[in-house]
Amino acid sequence: MLIYVAIPIVGAIIGYVTKRAAIEMMFRPARRTLGWQGVVPKHRGRIAAIAAELLTTRLIDPREVLARIDVDRVNAEIEQPLLNTVDAIARDVITEHHPNVWEALPPLAQDVVIKQVQLAAPRIVSQLLTELRENIDSVVDVKQFALAQLTADDDRLVRIVRELARPELRFIARSGVWFGLVIGLAQAGVFALTGQPLVMPIFGALIGLVTDWLAITLVFWPREPITVLGRWRVQGSFHRRHAEVARRYARLIADEVLTVPNMLTAVLRGPRSDRTLALINDVVTEAVDEQTRVFRPLLAATGRRIAVSELHQAAALRALPVIPDATRNANGYLTDAMDVAGMIERRMRALPAAEYESVLRPAFQQEEPKLIAAGGVIGAVIGELALLLLL
């Protein structure tokens, strides 16, 4: 009699163990070991590419994000660091390219030159932001930027997928217990009728296969709510959490991927940074030319020729690497103003079920048959071990 009580319990254990094994096989190991690599680490390039495509075509509009920035507020936030940066760049550039001219000027005249250049700083920030809004596609490939950030290290995408799917992973593990218990009851009945020892490993394999397949399927199916027997409302757990997932996903992307420092780095040091440099050079040229017109006679009075174009280009080159430090004080304001998380959440809530599902489904799809098959093998092994212990 004890064996017939034990069989369903063993079935529940098999169901749980096979589910936990499937979950861990999705994320571990990060590197190929004994012929296996975690599904997400192995396919992170493809999973990240799907995520980047969704982000840049459906969830984020860079122009709308940049349009939310109040340039006056930015200038107020970074005023002192910006003035210090302009002072240092101006002195270094003039000293390097025209040391004799600069040394010929009295200290008071040097200060006048620097103050005039500093007056151009707010206009430079304003015009640069305007140019970025109008030319963002030529300055940075947003999709490649998102893809690069998602694959920047081995752990980031794994962490995002695991965090996003945490309730589904718990559901998969717990469902294994109940599915295994039900199939174990059937296993006990068959064993009672046949008395065949092979029933244990066969049903163990069946428990592993069926419960793995059912658990993964019920995460995503049905996409839309359906009513069963006129009473129970059924919907895939991931789709049932649409609003919650949108909020969590938006926060993860805003905090780890589309951050202000990351975006600045993409603009200033990315593959298209030469175009950013050209923009900065144009803006610096126009603003500085206007502000320095009043003291050009003063420079000319030294009797030496001033290569103004060289100064513009040198100033732009010097500005490029120091912009992140100069604008750091505005990071908090920029994060709040651009509201990347809010935009992603709102747009993700509005996605049709099929597109919304693509946020997580690829992580399961890549090796789904292998995961299910592994569940069957583990189930058969546990069934055989249970048989040896019980008989």
Q: Record the tokens describing residue 309, joined without a space.
A: 């174009």
**Per-residue pLDDT tens over the stretch 184-236:** 888 788 778 887 888 878 878 888 888 889 888 889 999 999 988 778 889 99
Nearest one of 104, 102, 106, 132 to 311, comparing CA atoms: 102
Rounded to whole angstroms, the Cα distance separating 275 from 325 reads: 21
Mean pLDDT score, 6-34: 88
**What's the predicted TM-score (pTM) here?**
0.87
**Per-residue pLDDT tens over the stretch 91-141:** 888 888 777 777 777 888 788 878 888 888 888 899 888 888 888 988 999
Contact 295, 112 (CB under 8 A): yes
User: Which pLDDT band holds residue 281 (cuts at 50, 70, 90)?
Assistant: confident
What per-residue confidence (pLDDT) applies to 66? 93
Largest Cα–Cα distance in the chain?
Answer: 112
**Per-residue pLDDT tens over the stretch 350-364:** 999 999 999 999 988
Rounded to whole angstroms, the Cα distance separating 62 from 248 reads: 21
Q: Which residue has the higher pLDDT, 159 or 384?
A: 159
Rounded to whole angstroms, the Cα distance separating 203 from 38 reads: 27
Q: Which residue has the higher pLDDT, 212 or 41?
A: 41
pLDDT of residue 322 exceeding 80: yes
Give the least confident one: 26-30, 42-46, 212-216. 212-216
User: Which pLDDT band holds residue 290 (cuts at 50, 70, 90)?
Assistant: low
pLDDT of residue 79 exceeding 60: yes
pLDDT of residue 240 exceeding 90: yes
**33 strand-pairing partners:** 36
What per-residue confidence (pLDDT) applies to 308? 65
3 state SS of 153 = coil
CA distances from 366 to 46, 49, 140, 213 (A): 9, 14, 30, 14
pLDDT of residue 303 exceeding 60: no
Nearest one of 210, 207, 175, 192 to 381, comparing CA atoms: 207
User: Which pLDDT band holds residue 283 (cuts at 50, 70, 90)?
Assistant: confident
